[in-house]
Chain A
Amino acid sequence: DQQVKQNSPSLSVQEGRISILNCDYTNSMFDYFLWYKKYPAEGPTFLISISSIKDKNEDGRFTVFLNKSAKHLSLHIVPSQPGDSAVYFCAASALSNQFYFGTGTSLTVIP
């Protein structure tokens, strides 16, 4: 049973516009969330995280929003750049080192 879901397998965005990647989870005990970026044939790299005591965390062009009541988080990339084209995974954890990953969303930024 998938506890973390990314319902959009792919997303295309024009360069300079906003990219919004969504993630839903089912376990209300999750209290720490991360986004990873992954290029083909490489390991994922950490992008940004958010703890459940916050509803927003920003790092440069990347902002993660957390809506605990809806069990939903989103990653906003503004402005999108062609180098952002990759697969993005969200992951969640409940006070342990065991993370649950979503299925990923493939982002394509069109120049």
Chain B
Amino acid sequence: DGGITQSPKYLFRKEGQNVTLSCEQNLNHDAMYWYRQDPGQGLRLIYYSQIVNDFQKGDIAEGYSVSREKKESFPLTVTSAQKNPTAFYLCASSTDREVNEQFFGPGTRLTVL
């Protein structure tokens, strides 16, 4: 089955630790995205990548880093520089050549203790 997977579903970390969230897709999509959702707020774009080895900052990139070494994978690292890392993180992908709907993964709930 084609789709997007994110792991783990729930993640706990101590304050000051970096943590990497996984996102994998087998939809052969060129573009991938990371969003963050907080209560009472819309999805906010952290980073996006339209092609392998290239990515751009979204609206709230500070304290995060990404890599896109493979088309299928777009891991997100939440660094200790991120002031409020506890949130629900969503990964998405889409075809690149036209404006199209994005397909979302199930999300990862990160809690920093």
Contacts and interface: CB of A to CB of B under 8 A. Distances in A.
B107 A41 contact: yes
B105 interface: yes
Q: How large is the interface on B (under 10, 10 to 19, 20 to 34, 35 or more residues)?
A: 20 to 34
Contact of A98 (B40, B42, B48, B106): B48
B34 to A, nearest CB: 12
Nearest to B49: A97
A87 to B, nearest CB: 10
A93 B99 contact: yes
Contact of A95 (B96, B99, B103): B99
Interface in B57-80: 58
Contacts of B94: 97
A22 to B, nearest CB: 14
A97 B42 contact: no
B99 A42 contact: no
Interface stretch (A11-19, A61-69, A101-109): A101-109
Contacts of A28: none
Nearest to A35: B101
B40 A103 contact: yes
Q: How large is the interface on A (under 10, 10 to 19, 20 to 34, 35 or more residues)?
A: 20 to 34
B101 A43 contact: no
A99 B109 contact: no
Nearest to B99: A32
Contacts of A44: 43, 90, 104
B104 A45 contact: yes
Interface in A71-108: 89, 91, 93, 95-104
B53 interface: no
B3 to A, nearest CB: 10
Given A97-B94, A97-B96, A46 B40 contact: no
Nearest to A34: B101
B91 to A, nearest CB: 8
Interface of B: 4, 6, 9, 31, 33, 35, 40-45, 48, 50, 58, 88, 90-92, 94, 96, 99, 101-107, 109
